[in-house]
Amino acid sequence: MAGLAAASHLRGNVSEGRIACRFDTVGGVVAGIEAGVGVGFLPCFAGDRHPALVRLGPPVASLATDLWLLTHADLRHVPRVRVLVEFLGERMAALRPLVEGL
Protein backbone atom coordinates (compact mmCIF):
# COMPACT_ATOMS: atom_id res chain seq x y z
CA MET A 1 0.00 0.00 0.00
CA ALA A 2 3.10 2.24 -0.03
CA GLY A 3 2.17 3.54 -3.47
CA LEU A 4 -1.24 4.85 -2.39
CA ALA A 5 -1.93 8.56 -2.03
CA ALA A 6 -2.60 8.12 1.71
CA ALA A 7 0.88 6.66 2.24
CA SER A 8 2.45 9.54 0.34
CA HIS A 9 0.38 11.99 2.38
CA LEU A 10 1.64 10.40 5.61
CA ARG A 11 5.27 10.49 4.46
CA GLY A 12 4.91 14.19 3.71
CA ASN A 13 3.04 15.15 6.89
CA VAL A 14 3.99 12.75 9.69
CA SER A 15 7.49 12.28 11.05
CA GLU A 16 8.86 8.75 10.80
CA GLY A 17 9.11 8.48 14.59
CA ARG A 18 5.35 8.96 14.96
CA ILE A 19 4.45 6.01 12.74
CA ALA A 20 3.75 3.13 15.14
CA CYS A 21 2.96 0.40 12.65
CA ARG A 22 2.62 -0.32 8.93
CA PHE A 23 0.14 -2.67 7.26
CA ASP A 24 -0.03 -4.07 3.76
CA THR A 25 -3.82 -4.43 3.54
CA VAL A 26 -6.83 -2.24 4.30
CA GLY A 27 -8.09 -5.01 6.58
CA GLY A 28 -4.82 -4.84 8.49
CA VAL A 29 -5.21 -1.10 8.98
CA VAL A 30 -8.78 -1.60 10.23
CA ALA A 31 -7.63 -4.30 12.66
CA GLY A 32 -4.75 -2.15 13.90
CA ILE A 33 -6.94 0.87 14.54
CA GLU A 34 -9.59 -1.28 16.24
CA ALA A 35 -6.84 -2.78 18.43
CA GLY A 36 -5.77 0.70 19.53
CA VAL A 37 -2.44 0.86 17.71
CA GLY A 38 -3.21 4.41 16.60
CA VAL A 39 -5.02 6.38 13.92
CA GLY A 40 -4.79 5.96 10.18
CA PHE A 41 -6.30 6.65 6.82
CA LEU A 42 -8.95 4.29 5.51
CA PRO A 43 -11.20 4.32 2.49
CA CYS A 44 -14.61 5.54 3.67
CA PHE A 45 -16.27 2.30 2.59
CA ALA A 46 -13.93 0.39 4.92
CA GLY A 47 -13.90 2.64 7.99
CA ASP A 48 -17.56 3.65 7.97
CA ARG A 49 -18.65 0.00 8.13
CA HIS A 50 -16.95 -0.51 11.51
CA PRO A 51 -18.98 0.98 14.36
CA ALA A 52 -15.99 0.84 16.73
CA LEU A 53 -14.11 3.33 14.54
CA VAL A 54 -14.67 7.07 14.68
CA ARG A 55 -13.97 9.33 11.73
CA LEU A 56 -11.66 12.15 12.84
CA GLY A 57 -12.43 14.49 9.95
CA PRO A 58 -14.05 14.72 6.55
CA PRO A 59 -12.66 12.80 3.59
CA VAL A 60 -9.40 14.35 2.37
CA ALA A 61 -10.08 15.50 -1.19
CA SER A 62 -6.46 15.12 -2.29
CA LEU A 63 -6.62 11.41 -1.42
CA ALA A 64 -9.63 10.69 -3.65
CA THR A 65 -8.99 8.33 -6.54
CA ASP A 66 -10.96 7.13 -9.53
CA LEU A 67 -12.49 3.68 -9.59
CA TRP A 68 -12.21 1.85 -12.89
CA LEU A 69 -14.05 -1.23 -14.06
CA LEU A 70 -11.97 -2.85 -16.78
CA THR A 71 -12.30 -5.82 -19.05
CA HIS A 72 -10.13 -7.26 -21.78
CA ALA A 73 -10.82 -5.59 -25.14
CA ASP A 74 -11.54 -8.95 -26.79
CA LEU A 75 -14.23 -9.73 -24.20
CA ARG A 76 -16.03 -6.44 -23.70
CA HIS A 77 -18.73 -7.23 -26.27
CA VAL A 78 -19.36 -10.81 -25.11
CA PRO A 79 -22.95 -10.77 -23.78
CA ARG A 80 -22.24 -12.41 -20.42
CA VAL A 81 -19.29 -10.08 -19.80
CA ARG A 82 -21.37 -7.06 -20.85
CA VAL A 83 -24.14 -8.08 -18.43
CA LEU A 84 -21.64 -8.45 -15.59
CA VAL A 85 -19.99 -5.09 -16.33
CA GLU A 86 -23.38 -3.36 -16.44
CA PHE A 87 -24.46 -5.03 -13.18
CA LEU A 88 -21.23 -4.07 -11.42
CA GLY A 89 -21.47 -0.52 -12.74
CA GLU A 90 -25.03 -0.14 -11.46
CA ARG A 91 -24.11 -1.65 -8.08
CA MET A 92 -21.11 0.65 -7.68
CA ALA A 93 -23.27 3.65 -8.59
CA ALA A 94 -25.73 2.62 -5.85
CA LEU A 95 -22.83 2.38 -3.37
CA ARG A 96 -21.38 5.74 -4.35
CA PRO A 97 -22.35 7.52 -1.08
CA LEU A 98 -20.58 4.81 0.96
CA VAL A 99 -17.52 4.85 -1.31
CA GLU A 100 -17.28 8.66 -1.20
CA GLY A 101 -17.93 8.89 2.53
CA LEU A 102 -21.17 10.84 2.27
Model confidence over 34-76: pLDDT tens digits? 999 888 888 888 888 888 898 888 888 888 888 888 999 999 8
The whole-number pLDDT of residue 79 equals 95
Residues 40 and 53 in one domain: yes
Residues 75 and 35 in one domain: no
Residues 59 and 74 in one domain: no
DSSP-H helix ranges across the chain: 5-13, 26-34, 44-47, 79-94, 96-100
Residue 75 belongs to what domain range? Answer: 66-97
Residues 82 and 42 in one domain: no
Residues 74 and 31 in one domain: no
What is the pTM assigned to this prediction? 0.70
Q: Is residue 102 situated within a structural domain? A: no
Q: Is residue 74 situated within a structural domain? A: yes
Please name which of 65, 72, 76, 68 lies closest in space to residue 100, comparing C-alpha atoms: 65
Q: Is residue 39 situated within a structural domain? A: yes
Q: Is residue 93 situated within a structural domain? A: yes
82 pLDDT band, cuts 50/70/90, is very high
Q: Which residue has the higher pLDDT, 67 or 77?
A: 77
Tell me the pLDDT tens digit for each residue of 83-97: 999 999 999 899 888
Residues 70 and 45 in one domain: no
Q: What is the dihedral of CA 17, 58, 33, 93, to 10 degrees?
A: -130
The whole-number pLDDT of residue 17 equals 84
